[in-house]
Amino acid sequence: MASRAWPAVAIVMTLLALGLLIALLWVSLERNSSAGQNTLPTCGQKDSRAGTIEDEEPQRPGPFHDLTSRELKNLRSFLESDPDINATKLSSDGPLDRSALVQSYVSMVDLYLPAKVDVLAHIDEGQPQPPRRALVVLFRGDKNPAVVEERVCGPLPKVKSCQLLQSSKRRNPVEFTLRPFNMMEFGALIEEVLRSEVEEKIGHILRDSFGISYGNCDVSPCLDFFTSPMSTGITGDIEKRRMWVWAHYPVEYYLLHPVDFALLVIMDSADPTKYRVDKVWYAGLLYDSIDRFVDLYDKSLITKIKRKMPENGPEIFSSIHQRGKELPSRPQRPPRLVEPDGKRYSLSNRQVKYQDWQFNLRMSTLTGPQLFDVRFKGDRIAYEISLNEIIVFYSAANPMHQVTDVADSAGYLGSMVKSLVPGADCPHSATLISNTLAGQLVKGPVRFPNAWCLFEHNSGLPLRRHIGYRLVHGSFYGGMLDSHLTLRTILTVGNYDYVIDFSFHQNGVMDAKVSSTGYLMVSPYSSDDSPYGYRIEEHILGNLHHHMFHFKVDLDVGGSVGNRYSTLDIVKEKQELTTVRLV
Ligand X SMILES: *[C@@H]1O[C@H](CO)[C@@H](O)[C@H](O)[C@H]1NC(C)=O
DSSP string, 208-271: HHHS--SS-TTTS---EEEEEEEPHHHHS-TT--EEEEEEE-SSTTGGG-EEEEEEEEE--SSS
User: Is the CB of residue 135 less than 8 Å from the CB of residue 68?
Assistant: no
**CA atoms of 226 and 189, how far apart (whole Å):** 12
- Under the criterion CB under 6 A, does residue 83 sit at the interface with ligand X? yes
Taking the least distance from each CB to ligand X, the nearer of 137 and 256 is 137
* Nearest C-alpha neighbor of 560 from the set 357, 377, 384: 384
Q: Which is nearer to ligand X, 87 or 277 (CB)?
A: 87
Least separation, in Å, of the C-beta of 97 and ligand X? 11
What number of other Cβ atoms are within 10 A of residue 254's Cβ? 17
Distances (CA, A) of 508 to 16, 195, 380, 543: 58, 58, 12, 41
Residue 394 annotated among the catalytic residues of the structure: no
The nearer residue to ligand X, 78 or 455, going by C-beta atoms, is: 78
Find the shortest distance in angstroms from Cβ 105 to ligand X: 9
Maximum distance among all Cα pairs of the chain, rounded to whole angstroms? 136
Residue 493 CB neighbour total at 10 angstroms: 17
88 binds ligand X (CB under 6 A): yes
How many residues line the site for ligand X (CB under 6 A)? 4
Measured from the CB of residue 79, what is the shortest distance to ligand X in angstroms? 11
Length reported for the chain:
583
CB of 84 to ligand X, least distance (A): 9
Among 496, 498, 525, 532, the active-site one is 496
Catalytic residue of the set 224, 408, 529, 556 = 408
Residue 469 · residue 480 · CB < 8 Å:
no
Q: What's the closest the beta carbon of residue 88 comes to ligand X, in angstroms? A: 5
Closest CB to ligand X among residues 95, 284: 95
In the complex with ligand X, which residue's Cβ is closer, 441 or 454?
441
Nearest-angstrom CA–CA distance, 305 and 284: 10
Q: Angle of helix 290-298 relative to helix 199-210, nearest 10 degrees?
A: 50
Count Cβ atoms below 10 Å from residue 92 Cβ, excluding itself: 8
User: Among 55, 69, 103, 514, which residue sits at the site for ligand X (rule: CB under 6 A)?
Assistant: 103
Q: How far is the CB of 136 from ligand X (least distance, A)?
A: 16
Q: How far apart are CA 151 and CA 110, in angstroms?
A: 11
Query: d(Cα 47, Cα 44) in Å, to the nearest integer?
Result: 9
Give 109 or 420: the residue with its C-beta nearer to ligand X.
109
Which among 83-91, 182-190, 367-375, 427-435 is the span making contact with ligand X, rule CB under 6 A? 83-91
Instruction: Select the residue interacting with ligand X from 86, 216, 231, 483 (CB under 6 A).
Output: 86
Residue 407 and residue 54: Cα distance in Å, rounded?
34
Nearer residue to ligand X within complex by CB, 80 or 197: 80
Stretch that binds ligand X, among 82-90, 150-158, 375-383, 482-490 (CB under 6 A): 82-90
197: three-class secondary structure by DSSP:
helix
Residue nearest to ligand X (CB): 86
**496 an active-site residue?**
yes
* Residue 171 vs residues 120, 138, 150, 175, 301: alpha-carbon distances, Å: 29, 14, 10, 10, 51
Task: Round to whole Å and give the CA distance between 524 and 546.
Answer: 19
Q: Which of 542, 496, 538 is nearest to 522 (CA)?
A: 542
CA distance 184 to 90: 14
* 442 versus 557: smaller Cβ distance to ligand X: 442
Contact flag: residue 140 with ligand X (CB under 6 A): no
Q: Could you tell me the CA-to-CA distances from 229 to 48, 240, 440, 530 in Å, in that order?
A: 54, 11, 21, 23
**What does each C-alpha distance from 374 to 64, 353, 556 come to in angstroms?**
12, 10, 9
Q: From the CB of 360, what's the least distance to ligand X, in Å?
A: 38
Shortest separation between residue 144's beta carbon and ligand X, angstroms: 12
Instruction: Report the nearest approach of ligand X to the CB of residue 101 (Å).
Output: 11
Residue 95 or 518: which CB sits closer to ligand X?
A: 95
Q: Applying CB under 6 A, which residues contact ligand X?
A: 83, 86, 88, 103
Catalytic residues, by residue number, are 408, 496
